[in-house]
Structure 1
Amino acid sequence: MTMMTSPMNKEEDQTGVSPNYESRNGAPILWFLLHTQEGDGDAQSLANYLQNPNSGVSYHYTVDNSGTVIGVVDTDLASWSVLSGNPQSINLCFAGSRVAWTRDEWFSNMQRGIDCAVWIAVQDCRKYGIPIRTISPEELGNDQAGIADHNAYTIGKHNGSHTDVGPNFPWDYLHSKLSEYSGS
């Protein structure tokens, strides 16, 4: 059996700094959701913003294309990312990313970041018993568990207006990395 090598260059646990979280109140964790920042920056600068009590937002992880991953909110707690879906989701944001990116821009600006996101998703899906598969907005809306994005939550739950990660996100590439990192 071949051991997989993590794509992460640097992983830093800064959980406990951000005040922007709450209890899951016993809700089951169903989804691992992906987000875009819609701004410039790297994993650390985004984490710094999320650690500000006035920001009113948080994610469990920030990731950038250098392979840096910052843990912002402990996954046993709910980050403030997807409105009423917070207690049931783990949320990761690609620092410096945008919904409007083309497929080529995703690859040139965030391919290693996607690798890191998939690596983390596989680990957290195993930890929380989430199936290692992507799900459609309809499946999310019916509370089926899996990996999706903020847009799937918006459509599936008719809650909010966010469309990230955008129509050009390379889901086929994510699927291939899910297979590689999960060994399935």
Structure 2
Amino acid sequence: MIVPGVKYVPGRNDYSDRDGQKYGVAIHNTSNDAPASGEASYATRRTDGVSAHFYVDDREVIQSIDTKYRTGHAGSSAGNENAVSVEITGTNSKSRAWWIANVAWDDLGRVLAAVCRAYDIEPRRASVAEMKANPKVRAFYSHDDMRRAWGGTTHTDPGGNFPWDYLFASVKQAMGPATPPPVQEDDMTPEEQRDADIWPNGYGDAKTNPSITLGTFVRNVGRDTEAARKELEELRTQVAELASRPAAAVDYDQLADALLRRVIAGGANPANPTQ
């Protein structure tokens, strides 16, 4: 996957993958203060077999390798093959405050949100025990976590002060709110249940479903706010005029029902809310 909207500078050392799948996100630091552009440029000509999918600094995220390929980043076959690799400018000695101030968190969050959606990866850090038990655990891990779980390296980045909470907050914000569970019938009011029975997919043909509240009708057929406001005002005017008649001459429940049915009978076309 090439993430849309991200600068792409094709690097070297992309390796074939058995199925192109990824199961985790590996977080590294570059062990220097070079900009992401410098790292991405170096990746186009380096000959040591090392590579990463993304480079990040305080200004941008640059993609270097398509995520369907394996990169040389972990020191172990499990890490290299199963993880999307992210190199963030910095060193192990950086403070938490430095990391927070020197990473393009919003851009990184959007990129990793796309990765998480594509590969069903959970934005959380796996434990080393999980990683040992399952090299395909769908989570995030550090280079040090990979060292302790799978060996093959002495690297311990991104360091003890790296703000994982900040990283996950950025990814979760970019992913948006979780889809709420469907409302169970027992949790619905009688009015909500009636509306759900009439229009189970959100809205239907208003002319054949008159038994619905005006508010729900206006909302479901997608009428614009101004048109709905004008229609309500016209109804209020008619009701006020009729209400001025002797009370014995007016059945208000019947009146309201008749007016509502009249509006619906000549109402909006759900496919064209302006009609």
TM-score of the superposed pair, with normalisation by structure 2: 0.57
Among 52, 61, 65, the residue aligned to 2:58 = 65
Q: Label 1:176 to 1:134 Cα distance change in 2 as closer, same or farther (>3 A).
A: same
Instruction: State how far apart, in whole Å, the 2-side matches of 1:174 and 1:12 are.
Output: 20
Q: Label 1:40 to 1:174 Cα distance change in 2 as closer, same or farther (>3 A).
A: closer
Is 2:170 the partner of 1:177?
A: yes
Q: Label 1:41 to 1:53 Cα distance change in 2 as closer, same or farther (>3 A).
A: closer
Aligned to 2:49: 56
Please give the per-residue CA displacement for 1:43-95, whole angstroms capped at 9, x wherever unaligned.
110011111142421100111101x2211011010111112121111001113
Aligned to 2:121: 130
Is 2:39 the partner of 1:46?
A: yes
Q: Label 1:177 to 1:87 Cα distance change in 2 as closer, same or farther (>3 A).
A: same
Q: Give the residue type in structure 1 aligned to 2:62.
A: I
Instruction: State how far apart, in whole Å, the 1-side matches of 2:124 and 2:51 are.
Output: 24
Aligned to 1:86: 80
Rg bigger for which structure?
A: 2
Aligned to 1:121: 112
TM-score of the superposed pair, with normalisation by structure 1: 0.83
Aligned to 1:4: none
Q: Give the residue type in structure 1 aligned to 2:7.
A: E
The 5-angstrom pairing of residues 6-17 of structure 1 reads: 11-15=6-10
Q: Give the residue type in structure 2 aligned to 1:94.
A: I
Instruction: State how far apart, in whole Å, the 2-side matches of 1:98 and 1:109 are.
Output: 12
Q: Label 1:93 to 1:32 Cα distance change in 2 as closer, same or farther (>3 A).
A: same
How much does 1:27 deviate? 6.4
Aligned 8 A contact 1:24 1:88 in 2 = no
Q: Find the residue that maps to 1:138 and give its secondary structure.
A: helix
Q: Find the residue that maps to 1:91 and give its secondary structure.
A: strand
Name stretches of at least 5 consecutive residues in structure 2 with no aligned partner: 179-275
Q: Label 1:139 to 1:117 Cα distance change in 2 as closer, same or farther (>3 A).
A: farther
Aligned 8 A contact 1:92 1:117 in 2 = no
Aligned 8 A contact 1:49 1:55 in 2 = no
Question: Greater strand share, 1 or 2?
Answer: 1
Of 132-141 and 158-167, deviating more is 132-141
Aligned 8 A contact 1:65 1:109 in 2 = yes
Instruction: State how far apart, in whole Å, the 1-side matches of 2:53 and 2:175 are.
Output: 21
Q: Find the residue that maps to 1:164 and give its secondary structure.
A: coil
Count of aligned positions: 169
Among 2, 13, 28, the residue aligned to 1:20 = 13
How much does 1:126 deviate? 0.8
Q: Find the residue that maps to 2:166 and give its secondary structure.
A: helix
How much does 1:176 deviate? 2.2
